[in-house]
A and B are shown apart, each in its own frame.
Chain A
Amino acid sequence: MSKQAPGVRIDGLTVVYKTPAGELPAVRDVSLTLEPGSITGIVGESGSGKSTLALSLLNAVQPPGRISAGSVEIDGLGDVVGLGGEQLRKARGRHIGYVFQAAQNSLNPLKTVGKQLLDLGRSHGVDDLRGLVREAKELLGRMGLDGARVLDSHQHELSGGMRQRVGIMLALVLNAHVVVLDEPTTALDMITQANILKIVREVHAERGLTTLVITHDIGVVAEVADRLAVMYGGRLVEQGPTREVLGSPRHPYTRGLIKAIPRLVGDIDEARALPGRPPTLATVPKQGCVFRERCALRMDVCDDVDPEAVLQGTRTVACHAVTVKEHA
């Protein structure tokens, strides 16, 4: 039943939202490759465009938003941006599983989990519903839950961590091999979070998935992801292997973000918040670097020219200051 993990290539993706001030980009010219079988983490603060980017993988950006340029190629499926109607509906769930941000609240409170599972099966034309239930029980058991009991439960009978696991089960049960997890551990306790992240890693390896994790918490990405991509103001400002990016961040935003994380050891005074605040759709600069208002390395060129994402070894960085240093 297992297929090979598919690769995903996002190329030049731009997503705009219609506002009274015209169409404003929430995601601007983003290119990102998810290698088959890898876990990629996207880190960003509120308004960075990370959730919009994730929704683009399903071609599920809701009006007033729309994908205005670029493509999302998924192996075995083609360009998702070109899909529509019935084709798109079938791809969601079968090809791409999505665990929503509030998995705690995304279940139907009136139906048992089992009934919702059957609804999912029917809407995707699954003939062998018994087999689907068996698969669901197996997945839930794999995640340390009593499958039969969970399928008989309503959402209010499940804890936050259990609901999150139900969300993961529903995303995987149709045998999707591309999985997007949007803020998988927000609102969970530390111990539950550690547990869920372990499950994500293990299930990813066992089922041969290509996984994308969206989060505001660098710690979550550090725990699970092979590659790390940092978003700011709709742009991908830095990406590379997780350990390398964390060990020697190059973009000033990545550096600032890592410095701003409260840690258990080390000098408290060394950590500091970034000055200023993250831009919103309305305040993000129309030209030039999106980060310049908060940047310590700001130069004249940053005001006018949007820095291109430049590949340097294993790392891609979009910063004039870093590029200049490399060439000097």
Chain B
Amino acid sequence: MITGTGVVKTYKQRGKMLGAREVRALRGVDFAIPKGGAASFIGESGCGKTTLGRIIAGLETYDEGEVVIDGVAMSGLKPKERQPHFRKIQMIHQDPYSALNPTRTIHQTLHAPLSLRARQTGRPRSWIEERAAEVLSLVGLDPGSVLARYPHQLSGGMRQRVVIARALTVDPEMLVADEAVSMIDVSLRLGILALLKDLRERLGVSVLFITHDVATARYIGDDGELYVIYRGQVVERGAVDTVIADPVHPYTQSLLSAIPVLHGLEQPGEQPVVPLESLDESRSDEGCLFARRCPFRADRCEGERPLLQITDGVPQEHACFYPERRNVIARPLSEV
């Protein structure tokens, strides 16, 4: 179980001419990912979803708030003491082409973490070979044909499977997949998503999925939670199918409205939400963070910031003063 409360991250830029500038990447985020569970962070680039993923994986520090891994608070620990906790959380990066060392065979790539593991746990050398074959089988690769190969001899989908296999060598409790399928060929994407779902079911590994493609979030498990993040704040949070089918926050509705409609197969939603695009780049920190782009903003939104909350008749949490269901997503023609 990994939880976070009020996680804040601010990047300070020291400009020579313009003076110091602060970028608020995260403005007090709460999250909870149960053992074996699934969560997805969605939002545009720059919303803070990757920063949050990196904090959870221990690759980034946070300024305020607390991250707790299996009951142990991370902020009280020295960096060395944190290490074994964060080892339980392994990151799968977007680009399987640069995540593997091109001069090493797959065997060499898997051998390094496994021999460390063998030394730590006092296992014999023979275990290393067995385990290497085992993790490759787990990710759907044939060890016999893959082990001796170099990364350039594999397709993008196979490489991403190797990256996942490497993450599994340390017996992680959670995989953090940051845009893990966006560079994979379309015909193979579902295979990787199905693999992540399968690893959850078979090994009890939890999966944190970070993406800008909302639809892919459904495929790692319908029991997962969706976090919609905008400018460092979670603006909507709930069961993945609930948030997709019945979003109430105008930002979530904008994201879903923007997904291309497969004309000929689907009928577009009747109330698409198109965010206002303001030429003014100076982003206001007053009031609701989305107010400037929100087509439904009212006076209250300019002066006061709505916090994530539950209101009557809405099953998911949301941060909007005026939550309203809108029919935004495309539906298959066969259902209309």
Give the B-binding residues of A (Cβ under 8 A).
45-46, 144-146, 160, 189-195, 197, 216-220, 222-223, 242-247, 256-258, 260-266, 268, 271-274, 277-278
Complex Cα gap A263–B244 (Å): 11
Interface-forming stretch among B85-93, B167-175, B295-303, B328-336?
Answer: B328-336
Q: Looking at the complex, which one of A194, A216, A218, A273 makes contact with B191 (CB distance below 8 Å)?
A: A273
* B118 at the binding interface (Cβ < 8 Å): no
Complex Cα gap A246–B261 (Å): 11
* A265–B262 touching, CB < 8 Å: no
9 contacts between A and B (CB under 8 A): A144-B277, A193-B258, A194-B257, A195-B277, A216-B186, A264-B215, A265-B329, A265-B330, A268-B222
* A190–B263 touching, CB < 8 Å: no
Within 8 A of A (CB), among B263-303: 263-265, 274-275, 277, 279
Given A45-B187, A189-B212, A277-B158; A264-B259 close (CB under 8 Å): yes
Which residue on chain A has the smallest CB distance to residue B221?
Answer: A268
Would you give the shortest CB distance from B265 to chain A, in whole angstroms? 5
Residues in A whose Cβ lies below 8 Å from that of B261: 219, 222-223
Within 8 A of A (CB), among B212-240: 212-216, 218-219, 222
* B264–A243 touching, CB < 8 Å: yes
A-B contact count (CB 8 A): 128
Which residue on chain B has the smallest CB distance to residue A149?
Answer: B279
Within 8 A of A (CB), among B151-194: 155-158, 185-191, 193-194
Complex Cα gap A262–B212 (Å): 13
* B101 at the binding interface (Cβ < 8 Å): no
Would you give the shortest CB distance from B182 to chain A, in whole angstroms? 9
Given A218-B262, A219-B262, A264-B329; A146-B279 close (CB under 8 Å): yes
Interface size classification for chain B: 35 or more
Scoring A219, A223, A257, A268 by chain B CB atoms within 10 A of each residue's CB, the highest score goes to: A268
Complex Cα gap A193–B257 (Å): 11
Complex Cα gap A194–B259 (Å): 7
* B116 at the binding interface (Cβ < 8 Å): no
Would you give the shortest CB distance from A137 to chain B, in whole angstroms? 14
Within 8 A of A (CB), among B245-263: 245, 254-263
* B63 at the binding interface (Cβ < 8 Å): no
* B186–A45 touching, CB < 8 Å: yes
Complex Cα gap A194–B214 (Å): 14
State the 4 A-B residue pairs at the shortest beta-carbon distance, nearest first. Answer: A219-B260, A243-B264, A246-B264, A273-B191
Complex Cα gap A258–B263 (Å): 12
Residues in B whose Cβ lies below 8 Å from that of A278: 155, 185, 187
* B142 at the binding interface (Cβ < 8 Å): no
Scoring A46, A223, A273, A277 by chain B CB atoms within 10 A of each residue's CB, the highest score goes to: A273
Which residue on chain B has the smallest CB distance to residue A186?
Answer: B182
* A262–B255 touching, CB < 8 Å: no
Would you give the shortest CB distance from B46 to chain A, in whole angstroms? 9
Would you give the shortest CB distance from A23 to chain B, in whole angstroms? 22
Not counting A247-B264, A247-B265, a sample of 18 additional A-B residue pairs whose C-beta atoms are within 8 angstroms of each other reads A45-B186, A144-B279, A160-B45, A191-B254, A218-B262, A222-B263, A242-B263, A258-B262, A260-B189, A262-B190, A262-B213, A265-B244, A265-B245, A265-B335, A268-B222, A272-B190, A273-B187, A273-B188
Residues in B whose Cβ lies below 8 Å from that of A222: 260-264
* B44 at the binding interface (Cβ < 8 Å): yes
Q: Looking at the complex, which one of A192, A195, A244, A272 makes contact with B264 (CB distance below 8 Å)?
A: A244
* A258–B265 touching, CB < 8 Å: yes
* A256–B187 touching, CB < 8 Å: yes
